[in-house]
């Protein structure tokens, strides 16, 4: 799915009410007098201010482009997001339950990878192969499978390809998950080290006789 964020949009109603108030004042006041123009403007501004306070903004979901500070990486992540959207569409087209479950794993892992790279762009180098090969190849293979299914192809070659895709979908999903796991390797190591230090300090201070702290 597209990367979405919440955005507040102010209502246009206060603007319409202010314009209406100005027109109404203009009809009642000698608008050719400067003081009447000022009074109508003040009235319209007051109506706008009150209405803007009373009418809350709408919350909508909008697609958020990537902004990592690197144009090349932003484009790469945007392309990867497009391919994840294609995976989602393919998952809706493919009825096979086991294959659909594997695609869902790819979607979830892929989305988490892009989120991690967006937050920590310095890790992009370690995910280049995933972005440039694993993800687009998965889309290519699954598109061919879905097209064959939609066409009702039942020849020997079509059956062989379908069987090969079904057999290897789990392997592709595991590759996605392994890539995600590798992006968290440093963080896991840091937490594990902190736990070991905490355990040693607690023991030296005589604060624990319980089970060891493990990750």
Are 78 and 177 in the same domain?
Answer: yes
**pLDDT over 90 at 102, yes or no:** yes
Are 15 and 57 in the same domain?
Answer: yes
- Determine the pLDDT at residue 54: 86
- Determine the pLDDT at residue 135: 92
Are 21 and 97 in the same domain?
Answer: no
Q: Find, among 191, 155, 66, 160, the residue nearest to 118 by Cα.
A: 66
Question: How many domains does the structure of the chain reveal?
Answer: 2
**Least confident span in 22-31, 66-75, 96-105:** 66-75
Are 72 and 133 in the same domain?
Answer: yes
Are 109 and 33 in the same domain?
Answer: no
Mean pLDDT of 5-13: 72
Are 177 and 115 in the same domain?
Answer: yes
Q: In Å, what is the CA distance from 131 to each residue of 92, 107, 201?
A: 23, 13, 42
Are 57 and 105 in the same domain?
Answer: no
Q: In Å, what is the CA distance from 130 to each residue of 28, 36, 182?
A: 70, 68, 12
**pLDDT over 50 at 2, yes or no:** no
The parent domain of residue 111 ranges over: 67-183
Are 111 and 158 in the same domain?
Answer: yes
Cα angle 3, 92, 112 (rounded to 5 degrees) comes to 30
- Determine the pLDDT at residue 60: 67
| Per-residue model confidence as pLDDT tens digits over 30-89 | 878 888 888 888 998 998 889 888 888 877 665 556 767 777 888 888 889 999 999 999
Are 93 and 114 in the same domain?
Answer: yes
Are 74 and 175 in the same domain?
Answer: yes
189 occurs within a structural domain = no
């Amino acid at each position: 799915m597209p990367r979405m964020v919440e955005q507040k949009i102010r209502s246009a109603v206060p603007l319409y009410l202010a314009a209406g108030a100005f027109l109404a004042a203009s009809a009642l006041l000698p608008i050719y007098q400067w003081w009447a123009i000022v009074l109508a403007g003040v009235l319209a501004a007051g109506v706008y201010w009150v209405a803007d306070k009373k009418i809350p903004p709408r919350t909508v979901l909008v697609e958020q482009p990537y902004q990592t500070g690197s144009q090349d990486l932003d484009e790469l992540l945007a392309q990867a997001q497009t391919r994840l959207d294609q995976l989602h569409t393919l998952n809706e087209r493919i009825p096979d339950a086991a294959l659909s479950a594997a695609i869902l794993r790819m979607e979830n892992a892929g989305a988490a990878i892009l989120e991690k790279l967006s937050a920590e762009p310095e890790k992009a180098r370690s995910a280049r192969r995933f972005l440039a090969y694993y993800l687009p190849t998965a889309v290519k293979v699954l598109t061919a499978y879905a097209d064959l299914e939609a066409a009702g192809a039942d020849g020997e070659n079509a059956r062989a390809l379908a069987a090969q895709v079904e057999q290897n979908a789990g392997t592709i999903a595991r590759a996605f998950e392994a890539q995600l796991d590798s992006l968290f390797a440093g963080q896991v190591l840091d937490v594990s080290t902190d736990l070991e230090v905490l355990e040693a300090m607690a023991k030296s201070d005589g604060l624990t006789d319980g089970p060891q702290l493990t990750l």
